[in-house]
Amino acid sequence: MVHINVLKKVMCGLVVILIALTVCLWKETRRSYYVPFKTENDDSQIHRTSEKWNLLKSQDLVHEAAGGMGQMPKTLLSNENKVKGGISGMVEKSKKASDYMKVWDKDSSSQNLIPRLQKVRKNYLSMNKYNVTYSGKRNTVKLSPEQLLCQLRDRVNVSMIHGLDSPFNTSEWLRYLPEKSLNETVGRLGRCAVVSSAGSLKSSRLGPEIDSHDAVLRFNGAPVKGFQEDVGQKTTIRLVNSQLVTVEQQQFLRDALYNTGILIIWDPAPYHAEIHEWYRKPDYKFFEAYKLYRVRHPEQPFYILNPKMQWQLWDIIQENSLEHIQPNPPSSGTLGILIMMTLCDEVDVYEFLPSKRQTDICHYYQKFHDRACTMGAYHPLLFEKNLVKRINRGTDEDIYTHGKVTLPGFRNVHC
């Protein structure tokens, strides 16, 4: 009798061990499958409890691609669990429904990138095209979301070039620049939407929700015709990059897509450049196309973004990242978000942080694939997304299902 009991126990033990091994093996397989998204481990003790991989793949945001400003943003996802467990030793959370909603990890690092994109980031760091000399701190103590919002509000001067900005203070330029300020043109806005160009917008059926906002900002050549169900049809502001306007000049001048709403163009300036230095040597020579467009469409408001803002914002992203970020301007996506935060009471951003529909397809209106569109290559997109995740006032569920982040307008930020 005794012997039989012992035997039974041994057998049971063996069965349990076998099951455990099988489970481990299975997890391991899945994990390595998702290696590119594994979270970082630059800080020692973080040992990822797996499962939190990112299922998502890349998606791009703002498509800059067309223009070629470089790359688009890409995203990493992670699950919130990890985030919460973060820092002080990964606490394994109990398995709840939320475990299955993997969203962008606000602590994503370059280790989360696939090797090709890690290399691209390093190349941009050594190239330092814009002569960035950043010697400030990198925050070791994390700012709270409120502190971050205050930094953005107080240090990023979102402004458009106007007739007093030398060397635009000539009678010639006065004819081209809009008379009214952007603020005057749009009036006071309540709820606003920023719609990325990400492939993950496809089949989202977010159109009616997007159109319910007082104002909608879109990027570059992102169409609405034929995609209304997913992206809506309202366009209040369209932010375009100088590359698009220069490289696809004929299309820009001809395509009726651009004739709706207010246009804003932006172009990267060197880190230290004053406006007149940038004016002499813009990254892309877009001034002629701008003038041509203004002559053809004098009634349509068309602004030039003051390039100072890019690096004011870049400094804040760098300060709040643990690694060196690409020394290139932030993506159109993040610039558009900041513009709307200055104009609106509240801003909903769609598919900048990828939803469950995340895909490597760069744009909802093209078939082109590239993980860089979600994770960034030229732009420090990964770090931009970390920042946006940190100041999100919406829920992870909204990110997961709608790709939606909710941010306060600066007039509702109290410091």
Ligand X SMILES: *[C@@H]1O[C@H](CO)[C@@H](O)[C@H](O)[C@H]1NC(C)=O
Cβ proximity of 57 and 199 under 8 Å: no
Cβ proximity of 351 and 200 under 8 Å: yes
Candidates 247, 270, 366, 401: give the one binding ligand X (CB under 6 A): 270
What letter represents residue 97's amino acid? Answer: A
Cβ proximity of 309 and 335 under 8 Å: yes
Cβ proximity of 258 and 238 under 8 Å: yes
Query: Does residue number 170 form part of the binding site for ligand X (CB under 6 A)?
Result: yes
CB nearer to ligand X: pick between 192 and 405: 192
Cβ proximity of 156 and 312 under 8 Å: yes
Residues linked to residue 298 through DSSP beta bridges, in sequence order? none
β pairing state of 404-408 and 344-350: antiparallel
Give the single-character DSSP code of 304. Answer: E
Site for ligand X in 103-132 (CB under 6 A): 130-131
Query: Does residue number 157 form part of the binding site for ligand X (CB under 6 A)?
Result: yes
- Near ligand X by CB under 6 A, which window of 79-87, 159-167, 204-212, 295-303? 159-167
For residue 167, is the peptide bond before it cis, meaning its omega torsion is within 30 degrees of 0? yes
Query: Does residue number 260 form part of the binding site for ligand X (CB under 6 A)?
Result: no
Query: Does residue number 187 form part of the binding site for ligand X (CB under 6 A)?
Result: yes
Nearest distance from C-beta of residue 373 to ligand X, angstroms: 25
Query: Does residue number 410 form part of the binding site for ligand X (CB under 6 A)?
Result: no
Candidates 169, 203, 212, 412: give the one binding ligand X (CB under 6 A): 169
Query: Does residue number 68 form part of the binding site for ligand X (CB under 6 A)?
Result: no
Binding mask 284-323 for ligand X (x = CB under 6 A): ----------------------x-----------------
Distance (Å, whole) CA 34 – CA 51: 10
Candidates 166, 203, 212, 412: give the one binding ligand X (CB under 6 A): 166
| Count of beta carbons in the 10 Å neighbourhood of residue 60 | 38
- Near ligand X by CB under 6 A, which window of 25-33, 115-123, 158-166, 234-242? 158-166
Nearest distance from C-beta of residue 313 to ligand X, angstroms: 13
Distance (Å, whole) CA 201 – CA 227: 9
CB nearer to ligand X: pick between 22 and 166: 166
Give the single-character DSSP code of 328. Answer: S
Distance (Å, whole) CA 197 – CA 333: 9
- Near ligand X by CB under 6 A, which window of 164-172, 219-227, 289-297, 398-406? 164-172
Q: What's the token pair of residue 44?
A: 């020692």
Nearest distance from C-beta of residue 168 to ligand X, angstroms: 8
Using CB positions, name the residue nearest to ligand X: 166
CB nearer to ligand X: pick between 144 and 170: 170
Cβ proximity of 370 and 92 under 8 Å: no
Please report how the helices 332-343 and 308-319 are oriented relative to each other, as an axis angle in degrees rounded to 10: 100
Query: Does residue number 41 form part of the binding site for ligand X (CB under 6 A)?
Result: no
Helix ranges restricted to H, 138-181? 145-155, 171-176
What letter represents residue 31's amino acid? Answer: R
CB nearer to ligand X: pick between 93 and 129: 129
CB nearer to ligand X: pick between 166 and 203: 166
Nearest distance from C-beta of residue 73 to ligand X, angstroms: 23
Q: Which residues are near ligand X by CB under 6 A?
A: 130-131, 157, 159, 165-166, 169-170, 183, 187-188, 270, 306
